[in-house]
Amino acid sequence: MTQLELARDGTLSAAMRAVAEEEGLDPEQVRSGVADGSIVIPANINHKGVEPCGIGTGLRTKVNANIGTSSDHGDANTELEKLQAAASAQADTVMDLSTGGDITAIRRAIIASTSLPLGTVPLYQAGIKAIDRWGSIVAMPVDHLFAAIQEQAEDGVDFMTVHCGVTQKAVSRLRQSPRVTDVVSRGGAFLIGWMLHNDQENPLYEHYDRLLDIARRYDVTLSLGDGLRPGSLSDASDRPQIEELLTIGELVERSREAGVQVMVEGPGHMPLDQIATNVQLEKLVCKGAPFYVLGPLVTDVGAGYDHISAAIGGAIAAAYGADYLCYVTPSEHLSLPEPKDVREGVIATRLAAHAGDIVKGVKGARDWDLKMSIARKNLDWQEQLRLALDSTRATESRAQHDTSGSGCSMCGQYCAMELVAEYLGTRPVQC
């Protein structure tokens, strides 16, 4: 039985208990969230040693790091290094988006070496093997796609991005609503090529029940991908994007009926004042399904700093209800990330998630900031460095210069904290 089926049956699984303990919540709250679909716990029955991670309403906003080879670069060792970088920066989950080298071997190496829940996009493997075997992705037989899904489910993949909402109807809306950047999702692009060439419906939509069967067997959580997500501010919140979301909403309900855990992916590139609306729309149209957003990037011109652009959008999204942020690295739009980019991306996204959690009222979020502020007031540097989002970086930065005072080298002898304590007569505060 899947976590969803167990929860509906009133069973408190070990995974639900673990999530509740990690979040400091009543296990019953987690069970009830899984039962109504507002929480998912991606944990394939074949992923030995996976640490259950809850994603959804009332829980800490989670952070995903994408790793994986491209056709140009990367091998299993490099990807394992990136996996290590993501884990040490405290990503909650990892996705392997490999499209180069021995995709199956790389995925198996990653699964074997991490307890983080792992996600994939099986269409990448299917499409690239189709190109190898038949010269083009459009020649891919439907069975070949489902064989890749089956193989990955058996291997223990915990959640899969499947672009089921890219239907012929959505493509038709796309033709009627010209975009600046058309389609920027690789999965979406693969499928649209296949659909137009073969004049057939999206196989992931057409054969959705077949997908549900596999997902249910291994308790793979479906992550309904947004193949038509906007790739520029100009295209944000347009009719093709919302058309796809409506279909995804229907597929969420079918997934839940089948006992399959499901979440929904969101944009993309978006002016910051559209983010709250997009989150609310997803929650309404998709009946409270956990929302997994990529960015959103609040400007198109930040190449080299898209982790910051995404942190701005991600913080706002999380504050208004997004449950899960996919990181963006500084190399987005420019090159395949290196391990150092992975670290920067994870930390910036964790910062955004936490800023959102403060607003959401997630348990423990404000306490962390309060403890830091008390340590700051007390000029307790050991505690400040310990509590910093990234203690390593904070420690390095503090060591950049010596200081003569008990503050830091920025204000030297003239630390406001010290001056005011003297004149206002305030005392060190307690937590």
For a copy of itself, the binding residues in 365-404 under the rule CB under 8 A are: 366, 368-370, 372-374, 376-377, 384-385, 387-390, 393-394, 396-404
CA triplet 72, 76, 77: central angle to 5 degrees?
A: 105
d(CA 386, CA 364): 16
d(CA 353, CA 360): 10
Give the contact letters, 325-364, x = binds to a copy of itself (CB under 8 A), - = no. Answer: -----xxxxxxxxx--------xx--xx-xxx-xx-----
Residues with Cβ within 8 Å of residue 137, at least 6 apart in sequence: 127, 128, 130, 131, 190, 193, 194
Q: Which is nearer to a copy of itself, 25 or 355 (CB)?
A: 355
Residue of 50, 130, 184, 326 interacting with a copy of itself (CB under 8 A)? 184
Q: Which is nearer to a copy of itself, 70 or 115 (CB)?
A: 70
Kindly state the tokens that stand for 228. 């038509």
Closest CA to 131 of 185, 193, 183: 193
Told to check if 116 binds a copy of itself by CB under 8 A, we report no
Q: Shortest gap between Cβ of 227 and a copy of itself (angstroms)?
A: 9
Residue of 146, 159, 190, 291 interacting with a copy of itself (CB under 8 A)? 190
Q: Shortest gap between Cβ of 171 and a copy of itself (angstroms)?
A: 8
Q: Which is nearer to a copy of itself, 92 or 332 (CB)?
A: 332
Told to check if 199 binds a copy of itself by CB under 8 A, we report no
Told to check if 252 binds a copy of itself by CB under 8 A, we report no
Q: Tell me the three-class secondary structure of 206-274, residue by residue.
A: HCHHHHHHHHHHHCCEEEECCCCCCCCHHHCCCHHHHHHHHHHHHHHHHHHHCCCCEEEEECCECCHHH
Told to check if 161 binds a copy of itself by CB under 8 A, we report no
For the residues of 37-81, what is the DSSP string, one character each? TSEE----TTSTT-----EETTSPPEEEEEE---SSS--HHHHHH
265-324 positions binding a copy of itself, by CB under 8 A: 269, 271-273, 298-305, 307-309, 311-312, 315-316, 319
2-41 positions binding a copy of itself, by CB under 8 A: none
d(CA 318, CA 94): 19
55-114 positions binding a copy of itself, by CB under 8 A: 70-73, 99-100
Per CB under 8 A, the segment of 5-13, 17-25, 54-62, 185-193 that binds a copy of itself is: 185-193
Q: Shortest gap between Cβ of 36 and a copy of itself (angstroms)?
A: 26
Residue of 21, 196, 239, 428 interacting with a copy of itself (CB under 8 A)? 196
User: What's 401's DSSP letter?
Assistant: S
d(CA 318, CA 354): 8
DSSP element (H, E) containing 336: none
Report phi then psi at 113, rounded to 5: -110, 10
Cβ atoms < 10 Å from Cβ of 135: 9
Q: Shortest gap between Cβ of 367 and a copy of itself (angstroms)?
A: 10
d(CA 300, CA 322): 21
Q: Which is nearer to a copy of itself, 24 or 364 (CB)?
A: 364
Cβ(431)–Cβ(374) below 8 Å: yes
Q: Which is nearer to a copy of itself, 255 or 349 (CB)?
A: 349
Q: Shortest gap between Cβ of 157 and a copy of itself (angstroms)?
A: 20
Residue of 185, 247, 261, 278 interacting with a copy of itself (CB under 8 A)? 185
